[in-house]
Each structure stands twice: as structure tokens, then as C-alpha cells.
Structure 1
């Protein structure tokens, strides 16, 4: 580990337990910091909280008492999901206490080069593609996919070496809490509008995304989507790193693109596009970004091909779950906004029964109308947005619109109203927090329901 002495005797508040907070607290304790953990939930029966207390770490739960800030603090490690509007954080900012997220902590101790991947959509799939490509026939070290995918970066960073790579999926929430964070390679898959309930404005959201490159130098790399003019301009004006574009729509002499059915990098053919086995034009973009990373890291075309032969996608992201009675079920629970659902629907040429709904973020979802008209025969809605999405479906002249309460009920209804050859797709276009802790739980509910349908046939 690097910078171990920096953390010794530091007074640190870890705000929010969860997986990243638990691991951050353990690491800081190991490094000799004086750690206090605070969570709004009552943790009196929480085994992780008990484990921390057994190690001498103070845990305060059941609220965010401002009295915590009376004792001197060197910095706060905050759970990314806690907004800066939280009264305790607002008071900390007034007191000029540094607030970071766990990825900053991981960067500070990491011996391994960091490849950081962000974007509105596609960052998880791109992260997993990069891990697969970098590990194909690798002779020294290993690439580890960490971060927003669910594996705390600090947990892996404390044990990885200079021979390894950390492939870090990083969200806008996490990027708002960086200070010295400095990836060797930064990837921005795309930028649209998302999480405006957290960021308050699109400008703040874009600023958070672009923070991925703020500490990069001329010797580093930034990989970006050439098909987005806004992103082209942002990279040009805000990054010092070497820019390498990728494009699905335009042939490029420099960077990665598609030409005559082949993926090409710097004019050299790498592999046919049909080697990307997961459906969707957006997944071709993810593959282009991952291939640029692989080429920078010296991975051969042959190893890139072999890695893609084996890459079958990521759970909850256009995941083929089962085919029952000629109906193919796909789990795209990670589609938490309209754009992700549009990309999913455009991946299919067969009729689609779409299952959608979730947390109401006061978005109109009317941008779904063109693709609903083109690709969807039946819409089954659920959750807080069920009635709103049903109205959108009517505007799109969808013949069959079914309103249900839960994913399970919606899945069963979709199956009952399907025919052989149909695609039954869970692609919610909404966050999961109205009924679930996260999109993974929502996707697992869908998977279990599909398995139950298989047993009843």
C-alpha cells in the first residue's frame, strides 16, 4: 500500500455504513486512523456494525447528530448516496472539513494503475469488458473490476500490486468526492441527463462526470465518445490527457471505429463486429471503448478476439435469462433511465413485451414514445410510475397496456399476453428505490419469477 503514514492518527468520520463504508472503516482502522462510523439507520442489530465495535471502532446510528462534528475531524468519508444537502454534511462544509468518497481513499493507497470508467450509460458493461480483455492470456498480475459495480475499490487496492490494474467503475456521486484521484486511463462512455434529483442541475451532473479527468496529466489518456459533440468539446477544453476517441457512426483515422463490419483501431482491423455477442448498438460502443483501453495496455488483437468470444454480458444488463415456450426473457434491470431503455428496445427486431416502472423522479418519459411505437406490442407497468408510463404508452398507440403493482405480477402478466417468438424484456426506465434497495434486487425478482414460470409450464 502507498501513503500509509498519511493516515496514521487521523480523525475520520465514515458517514454511512453499507459495503463501502464498512470496508473504508476497516481499512482506516488498520492504517491507524481514529475512526467513528455514523449511519442514519439503527445499526444495533447489524453484524457489520458489531464487528466494527469489536475492533474498537465507535459506531453511532439512528440519526446524524451534529454533535459528531464538535470533535476535530481531518476528513469525512461519505457514502456516495448521501446528498450534500444532508444537514451534517452542510455543517461540515461550513467548518471546511474535507469530504471524500471511498474511491479517493482507494486511490491514495493503491500501488496499481487505475483505469476509471464513467458515463450515463454503459459504464458497468464497459468495466467488465475491460477486465475480461486485460486478463485474457495475461502473464503478470491481474485486472480487477471494482467500484460502483459493488466491489469496494479500497478493499482490492490494499492488496493489489504494481503488476495489477484496477478497472474502476465510478459514478457521478463518487466523483463529487474526489480530491487527488488520478487515473492513468479515464473513459467517458457518454453523457446525457441523469440523477438530477441528486445533482440539482444538469450542469452540476456534467461537472461531476468531467472530474474524472481533472487531475490527469499529458502522459495519461482519456477515451471518449466522438459521436457526442458536447463530450468532444468538454474533453477538448477540460482535459490535459491524451484524447483517444471512439465512434460507432464515423470512420476515424485515429481511435476506434467501425468500418465494413470490422472494429478498427488506428486504421488496423481488430475483429468483426459480430464477435460482440451481447445485443445492441450501444454495446458496440462499449466494446469500442474497452478495445481502446486494451490497445493502450498492449493486449493483442488475438487476445481481444478470444476475450469477446467468451464475454456473455453482465447480470441485470441485457441478460438473457431463459427461453420458455419460444418466448425469450431478458433482464435489463440496470436500465434506470429512458435512454437505457431506448437502447435496449432498439437491440431487438422481434416484437417486444416491455416491463417498465419504478421510482417516480418526476420525469415525463415521453422520449420513449418513438421507440415504443416502433418496437413494443405490449407494455406492462409497475411501481410508482405505473400510471404515468401507461399514459405514455397510450400516446404511443400501444394496443395492450397492463398496469400491475410489482415486477413479479408484471412478469406473469407479460407472459400470459405473449406469443411464441416474442421478447419479454424487463427494462424499467426508472430507478428501483420505490420497492427495492437496488436494481440488483429488482432484477433478481424478475429472474426468480421467470424460473417459477418455467416450473409451471
Structure 2
């Protein structure tokens, strides 16, 4: 699609918006970037300030503050950043005028030379996408990893040639205004309650996830988690060939764990043996699921079992996801800051054998805590709570039968939480930061929270 001499409005001053604005300007469009923040607030972040300066050098107009309807006068195209919901008045006014509204991800799909292999899910998508990228590297001469993983997909789409491959992590936010994004292989890992405040209901949230494969054709592949009822049911609405994966059921066709513990892919009447689940370089049952999904996507991309085996053994996971930090006085410390919801924290707790000192809490998403606290009661010796969620989490812990003397509060101080854990812990216990919450009450993101935790632990 040509954007020469078109007028484009990019809404949202984040990395996705910056990348879309730069691409459109290079493609010949007249580009304006708008953000509802005041410019002084936006430029408090040094990285954002540098991006704004670079955009203006490229001739892109940057407008901050109130987003009035005059902004869309004469506009041919609007590109939404993931943080910007479709429901804002400016977008609704644009749709009423028939102006095309799209996303950076969709633009990336339009211009990509290489096939895109996309992964979504409430939990596990960063680990799965990263592992998928490593698997693709074993087969393709050039591989890019982008999307919700910190690198704009549109940047990757421009860089990777036709004989390469692109691994894309896709969030529900990125799919809201997307209509024809078309991955050659799409994977749906799981769907559990999350982002309900943004989407309004679990049904809408799942619908956003399903948009990942809505534009596929009969020539494409859809990889689905057979163990999750939400993703299993997606097969009824699939347009491409469906491949299930399961760590609980030995599938006649699909990716699964055999009775003897071997990971296999069964397809078109053949069984392809990979490695034993015990050989995986990443711990926990949930990571078996992630490996099954990544291997299935890679298989349909053309990666051979022989190419996959050494990668599956060597891959050690991603930062902030059950990341080993250090052992001190016989006690191991793990950073699982990426567990921003209860389902993800449950998976982390299940990866260990109990005797945990758990640091949890943060910016509360107000999801149900029943199942999470039942597992905390069963596996956690001491619970240390931080942030806005501490009061509600503490009450839920008491309701689950956890004794008050095993519930500790550290306010908004990670240093106090870690020091409390140090004072309480003794072998064979493990200290785990797995917050089951977002981080924005104390930090700018889960990455900042995880790195702060690691700094404090390493300074003990």
C-alpha cells in the first residue's frame, strides 16, 4: 500500500507509535504524532525526549495535550499505539467519518517480506516467542523478533529479507484495531482473566486474542493449547489447519509429551521425536507447554527436529520469568517480576516443590484470588506483601487459612521485602518474587521492578 502524500495521524508517544511515525514519513506521508500527555510530562523520560527530537528532525509534527476533533481534519489514516484504546472519542469520530484506523502491527504485516510466526496468550508469550526466535535461527539465514517484546514489529518487518523469518509476540492491545494481520502460523497459548479493565469483559478479551488468526487462510496453521478450554474451543473458528499441543494428553496428532517423557510432534502420520521434557533448559510444567508451542510453530515454519534439539536443551528462558538470581546462605532467589497476574504467579509456584518465601503484590488488577491463595497456603511458608494490593491480598490470605504470623507487609519498599525474606529464609527454602500484580504503583514496568529486586538481592 502506498502512503505517498497521504496524511497520517499516529496516536500514542510510545515505541510503537514512534516506529510507525518514522516508517510512514519515510514512505512519503505527512505525519503527525499526538499524545494526550502534556509535552513537559512526556519529555520527563529521556528516551521519549530523544525520540521526539528525532521525529521533529524528520519533519514529523508532534502535538501534545487535549486531543480535539480538529486533529483528524484532512486525515487519511490513523495508527493507534497499543496503549491507546479504540473507545477514545477521537477514534470514534474518525470511524464515523470513514477514516481508516489501524495499528503498527498491521502496517508491519503489510510490508513484511518474510513470513510472520505469531504468538499470543495471557501468559508465556514472551518465553515462547523468544524460544521460537532461537529455533528459527537454527534454520533461517536471517531472523527477527518483535512486537510486544520491546522491539516494534514494523522495524523488524523492514529489516528481514524474504528468505528469513519473523517471530512476533502479540498482545490483545495490539489486536484491538487490527483487521487483516495475517501470520503464516499463529499460536494461542492460553486465555485467563486479564486486562478486563481495558476490554470490558472476558468475552471481549478472548475475541481480541482470536483476531490473531481471523484473517488466516486454509494454507496457514493455527497452534492451540488443548489443555486450556478457551483455546481448545478456538478450533471451531479456525480458518487454517489446526495443530493442538498438550502436556497432559498424548495426542494422536499434534505436539505432546509421550508416556516415556519424550516431546514429540505427530503430523501427517509421522512421529518426530525431539527431546525428553526433563532435558529442557527451562524449569516448570508451564515451560513444557511453552516449548511444545514454540516447537510446533517452528515445525510448520520448516525447522527440522535435528535443528530444534540443541536449541531446546540450551535455552535458559528470559529475564524476569522465573529467573535465577543467586544462592545466598543455601537459599536460592528467583525473579519472576513478569508474573503480573495470578495465573502467571500460579505457574511459578507450581514450578517449585514448596518451602517458598513469596514476595507478592503491587498494582492490583482486582482479579479473583481464590485459586492463587489456595496454592500459596499449600506451598508458601512466608508471604511478604508490597504495594497497593497488600491489603486485599492479606485479607484473601487470611480467608485461605494462612496464619497471620506468616503474612508480612513491606509497604512500598522492595528493600524491606527482600530484607524480610533474608531474615526469614533458611535452607531448603526458596525466595521468589512473583507479584501476581502489575508494577505501576511502585515502578515504571515489570522490568524495572525485576531489575530492582535483582540489584537488592545481589547487594545482600
Report the TM-score, using the length of structure 2 for normalisation: 0.94
**Structural RMSD (CA):** 1.4
Which among 429, 435, 449 is matched to residue 428 of structure 1?
Answer: 435
| Contact map agreement 1:377 1:398 (CA 8 A) in 2 | no
Q: 1:31-70 counterparts in 2 under 5 A?
A: 31-43=27-39, 45=43, 46-69=49-72
Q: 1-side partners of 2:204 and 2:216: how far apart?
A: 20
Q: Which residue of 2 aligns with 1:98?
A: 100
| Contact map agreement 1:121 1:189 (CA 8 A) in 2 | yes
Q: 2-side partners of 1:301 and 1:372: how far apart?
A: 38
| Contact map agreement 2:86 2:177 (CA 8 A) in 1 | no
Deviation at 1:242, TM superposition (A): 0.3
Q: 1-side partners of 2:114 and 2:302: how far apart?
A: 16
Q: 1-side partners of 2:93 and 2:459: how far apart?
A: 50
Partner-residue secondary structure (3-state), 2:109? helix
Which among 376, 388, 396 is matched to residue 392 of structure 2?
Answer: 388
Q: Which residue of 2 aligns with 1:152?
A: 152
Q: 2-side partners of 1:349 and 1:60: how far apart?
A: 53
Q: Which residue of 1 aligns with 2:126?
A: 124
Q: 2-side partners of 1:402 and 1:387: how far apart?
A: 11
Tell me the alpha carbon deviations over residues 274-324 of structure 1, each in whole angstroms, 9 at most, x when there is no partner.
Answer: 121211111000000111112222323232111022211000111111111
Deviation at 1:9, TM superposition (A): 1.4
Deviation at 1:398, TM superposition (A): 2.9
Aligned residues: 445
Deviation at 1:346, TM superposition (A): 0.6
Deviation at 1:133, TM superposition (A): 1.1
Deviation at 1:342, TM superposition (A): 0.6
Partner-residue secondary structure (3-state), 1:81? coil
Q: Which residue of 1 aligns with 2:332?
A: 328
Q: Which residue of 2 aligns with 1:253?
A: 252
Partner-residue secondary structure (3-state), 1:12? strand
Q: 2-side partners of 1:20 and 1:408: how far apart?
A: 33
| Contact map agreement 2:358 2:384 (CA 8 A) in 1 | yes
Query: Structure 2 regions of 5+ residues with no counterpart?
Result: 44-48
Q: 2-side partners of 1:15 and 1:36: how far apart?
A: 8
Q: Which residue of 1 aligns with 2:315?
A: 311
Q: Which residue of 2 aligns with 1:289?
A: 293
Tell me the alpha carbon deviations over residues 409-436 of structure 1, each in whole angstroms, 9 at most, x when there is no partner.
Answer: 2122112211122111111111112222
Which aligned segments of 4 or more residues in structure 1 are displaced greater than 4 angstroms?
Answer: none
Structure 1 412/89 Cα, relative in aligned 2: closer, same or farther at 3 Å?
farther
Deviation at 1:359, TM superposition (A): 1.2
Q: 2-side partners of 1:49 and 1:269: how far apart?
A: 50
Deviation at 1:164, TM superposition (A): 1.1
Tell me the alpha carbon deviations over residues 313-355 of structure 1, each in whole angstroms, 9 at most, x when there is no partner.
Answer: 0001111111111111111111111110111001101411111
Q: Which residue of 1 aligns with 2:279?
A: 275
Q: Which residue of 1 aligns with 2:46?
A: none
Q: 2-side partners of 1:323 and 1:393: how far apart?
A: 28
Q: Which residue of 2 aligns with 1:194?
A: 194
| Contact map agreement 2:116 2:185 (CA 8 A) in 1 | yes
Q: 1-side partners of 2:177 and 2:127: how far apart?
A: 23
Partner-residue secondary structure (3-state), 2:39? coil
Query: Structure 1 regions of 5+ residues with no counterpart?
Result: none
Q: Which moved more, 1:106-115 or 1:261-270?
A: 261-270
Q: Which residue of 1 aligns with 2:453?
A: 446
Report the TM-score, using the length of structure 1 for normalisation: 0.94
Tell me the alpha carbon deviations over residues 364-415 of structure 1, each in whole angstroms, 9 at most, x when there is no partner.
Answer: 4222122112110111111110111111222233341111123332122112
Alignment pair present for 1:181 and 2:161: no
Q: 2-side partners of 1:305 and 1:12: how far apart?
A: 46
Partner-residue secondary structure (3-state), 2:212? helix
Q: 1-side partners of 2:86 and 2:430: how far apart?
A: 41
Q: 2-side partners of 1:268 and 1:56: how far apart?
A: 54
